[in-house]
Amino acid sequence: MTAPGMLYGVSLGPGDPGLITRRAWSLLTRPDAIWTYPVRSLRKESYALDIALRAGLTTPTQHQSLLFPMTHDAEKLARHWLKAAETVREMLATGQDVLFLVEGDASTYASFCYLARVLRELEPAARIEIVPGVTSFNAACAQLQVPLSEQDDTIAIVPAAYGIAAVEKMLDDFDTLVLMKVKPLLDDLIDLLDRRGLLAHSRFIEKAGAPVERVVLDVASLKGTKVNYLSLLLVKNPHRVRGELVRGCRKKTSTELEEESE
């Protein structure tokens, strides 16, 4: 009986092929592994695959796209996650290892998280490894030459879809906000940052590290424009009132105290 293969979530970084790790590269250059990669629709190319190809890698003989549609329909998502997991399970059953290519980091808001979870539901003994990578916000900070954090800074990394009210509340508790996938709420976020006096401390970056990377320092100029799905806002909050130091540690934030009381 053939032993099943291993599923690897191979992080490729946000777009610059030079950010692919040595561990990921060693897997991607194996001739015996199957490549899989996410697409958002059957009419779109895979951004993860594009990163690998721009690195000079050659698509192996066995490769397949897996559909992870852009939708908030829970039933539709579950149906496609299941289909992708079943496809990968069949590949693994042949004894071959399967690489799932991921832009950014496979454990950070990535399609691989859903694939791995459903595969484990189908096959509890499935062997899975996550290969860590550079995140878009780390690459953005490096490109902007802005530190993600200093000393005892607090950081929140959230999808902008949490909503304006939630983002505004976080401004009271965090020194740095990384707002991911800002496309749907960009105009509202600009209004919020303007009202809070934070536009001058905000930066926008789209497709960090890719040949079509776009950096906008004047965030207000983006109002009313369309931006790519793979975009983020980096917001620094120098006006935040910090708690006093107690034995070298800051007092808890209002958000932390509320979470403890729930």
> Using one digit for the tens of pLDDT, what is the confidence trace for 126-160?
999 999 999 999 999 999 999 999 888 899 999 98
Q: What is the mean pLDDT of residues 187-209?
A: 96
Shared domain for 85 and 141, answered yes or no, is no
Shared domain for 190 and 162, answered yes or no, is yes
Among 131, 151, 171, residue at a domain's last position:
131
Q: What is the mean pLDDT of residues 72-88?
A: 93
Return the SS3 of 97: coil
Comparing CA positions, the residue from 232, 258, 189, 208 lying closest to residue 47 is: 208
Torsion of CA 80, 92, 4, 25, to 10 degrees: -110
Shared domain for 163 and 239, answered yes or no, is yes
pLDDT at 258: 61
Whether residue 1 is contained in a domain is answered as: no
Q: Where do the DSSP E strands lie in the chain?
A: 6-11, 34-39, 63-67, 98-102, 127-131, 155-159, 176-180, 202-206, 214-216, 231-236, 245-246, 249-250
Shared domain for 107 and 176, answered yes or no, is no
Is residue 179 predicted with pLDDT exceeding 70? Answer: yes
Return the SS3 of 129: strand
Shared domain for 159 and 117, answered yes or no, is no
pLDDT at 244: 64
Contact assessment for residue 37 and residue 158, using Cβ atoms and an 8 Å cutoff: no
HSE-CB for 192 with a 13 A CA cutoff: 21
Whether residue 107 is contained in a domain is answered as: yes
Residue 134's H or E segment, with its range, is none
Range of the domain at 257: 136-261
**pLDDT tens digits, one per residue of 58-70:** 999 999 999 998 8
Is residue 172 predicted with pLDDT exceeding 60? Answer: yes
Q: Identify the CATH number of the domain in which residue 207 sits.
A: 3.30.950.10
Among 98, 131, 164, residue at a domain's last position:
131
Q: What is the mean pLDDT of residues 187-205?
A: 96
196-214 burial code (b ≥16 CB/10 A, e <16): bebbebbbbbbbbbbeebe
